[in-house]
Amino acid sequence: MDFQRPELLFRHDALMTSELIADLEWRGLLAQTTDRDALIKDLDAKPITFYIGFDPTAPSLHVGNLVVILVMRRFQLAGHNPIALVGGATGLVGDPSGRNEERTLNEESTVANWVEKIKGQLSLFLNFSDGLNKAVMANNLDWTKNISALEFLRDIGKHFSVNQMLSKDSVSSRLEAGGISYTEFSYQVLQAYDYLELYKRNNCTLQLGGSDQWGNIVAGLDLIRKVEQGSAHAFTIPLMTKSDGNKFGKTAGGSVWLDPTMTSPYAFYQFWINSEDADVAKFLKVFSFKDQTEIERLIETVAQNPGAREAQRELARELTTLVHGAKECENVEAASKALFGQGELIDLDAKTLNAALSQLPRAEIKKSETIPTWVDLICATGVVESKSAARRIVKEGGAYLNNTKVTAEDFAPVIGDAIHGRFLVLRKGKRDLASIELI
Q: Please give the share of the chain, as a percent, with pLDDT higher than 70.
A: 96
CB 60 within 8 A of CB 257: yes
Beta-carbon contacts of residue 263 (< 8 Å; ≥ 6 apart)? 255, 256, 257, 271
User: Please, what is the end-to-end C-alpha distance for the chain in angstroms?
Assistant: 53
Classify residue 183 as exposed, middle or buried by CB count within 10 Å of its CB (0-12, 13-18, 19+).
middle
Summarised one tens digit per residue, pLDDT across range 373-410 is 999 999 999 999 999 999 999 999 999 999 999 999 99
What pLDDT, in 10s, does the model give residues 115-153?
Answer: 999 999 999 999 998 888 999 999 999 999 999 999 999
CA angle at residue 202 from 196 to 208, to 5 degrees? 65
Domain ranges of the chain: 6-239, 240-358, 360-439
Domain 360-439 superfamily per CATH: RNA-binding S4 domain (3.10.290.10)
Superfamily of structural domain 240-358: Tyrosyl-Transfer RNA Synthetase (1.10.240.10)
Looking at residue 15, its pLDDT comes to 53
Q: How far is CA 279 from CA 31, 243, 283, in A?
A: 19, 6, 6
- Count Cβ neighbours within 10 Å for each residue of 62-98 and write b for 16 or more, e otherwise: bbbbbbbbbbbbbbbbbbbbbbbbbbbbbbbbbbbbe
Provide mean pLDDT across the span 154-181: 86
**Each residue's pLDDT tens digit, 45-98:** 899 999 999 999 999 999 999 999 999 999 999 999 999 999 999 999 988 877
Q: How much is the mean pLDDT over the chain?
A: 91
Order across the sheet with 49-54: list the strands.
Answer: 32-33, 233-237, 204-210, 49-54, 81-86, 136-139
- Whether 6-239 and 240-358 share one fold: the answer is no
What SS3 class is residue 139?
A: strand
Is 232 in contact with 204 (CB distance < 8 Å)?
yes
Q: Under CATH, domain 6-239 is a member of which superfamily?
A: HUPs (3.40.50.620)
- What is the per-residue pLDDT across 276-311, written as a single tens digit (0 to 9) for each? 999 999 999 999 999 999 999 999 999 999 999 999
- In three-state secondary structure terms, 28 is coil
- C-alpha span between 259 and 257 (Å, rounded): 5
pLDDT band (50, 70, 90) for residue 340: confident
